[in-house]
Chains A and B, each alone.
Chain A
Amino acid sequence: MAERPEDLNLPNAVITRIIKEALPDGVNISKEARSAISRAASVFVLYATSCANNFAMKGKRKTLNAGDVLSAMEEMEFQRFVAPLKESLEVYRREQKGKKEARKDKDKKTDSEEQDKSREEENDDDDERMEEEEQNEEEEVDN
Chain B
Amino acid sequence: MAAAAGPVAAAAVAAAGAEPAGPGEEAGAGPQCPGPARLARLPLARVKALVKADPDVTLASQEAVFVLARATELFVETIAKDAYVYAQQGKRKTLQRKDLDNAIEAIDEFAFLEGEFLLGFSWFQYFQ
A residues contacting B by CB (< 8 A) are: 2, 4-5, 7-11, 14-15, 17-30, 32-33, 36-37, 39-50, 52-53, 57, 62-66, 68-70, 73, 76-78, 80-81, 83-85, 87-96, 127, 130-131, 133-134, 137
Q: Which of A8, A49, A89, A137 contacts B63 (CB 8 A)?
A: A89
CB pair A21 B43 closer than 8 Å: no
Mostly, the A contact residues are helix
Residues of A within 8 A of B108 (CB): 77
CA distance A141 to B113 in the complex (A): 22
CB pair B67 A70 closer than 8 Å: yes
Residues of A within 8 A of B34 (CB): 21-22
Residue in chain B with minimal CB distance to A83: B17
CB pair A130 B97 closer than 8 Å: no
Residues of B within 8 A of A7 (CB): 46, 49
CB pair A73 B71 closer than 8 Å: yes
Mostly, the B contact residues are helix
B residues contacting A by CB (< 8 A) are: 10, 13-14, 17, 23-24, 27, 31, 34, 36-47, 49-51, 53-54, 56-64, 66-68, 70-81, 83-84, 87, 93-97, 99-100, 104, 108-110, 112-113, 116-117, 120-121, 123-125, 127-128
Q: Which of A25, A26, A37 contacts B80 (CB 8 A)?
A: A37
Q: In angstroms, how far is the closest chain A Cβ from the Cβ of B115? A: 9
CA distance A25 to B46 in the complex (A): 29
Residues of A within 8 A of B45 (CB): 127, 130-131, 133-134
List 10 interface pairs A-B (beta carbons < 8 Å), by A numbering: A5-B124, A7-B49, A8-B124, A9-B46, A20-B31, A27-B93, A29-B95, A45-B68, A62-B58, A78-B109
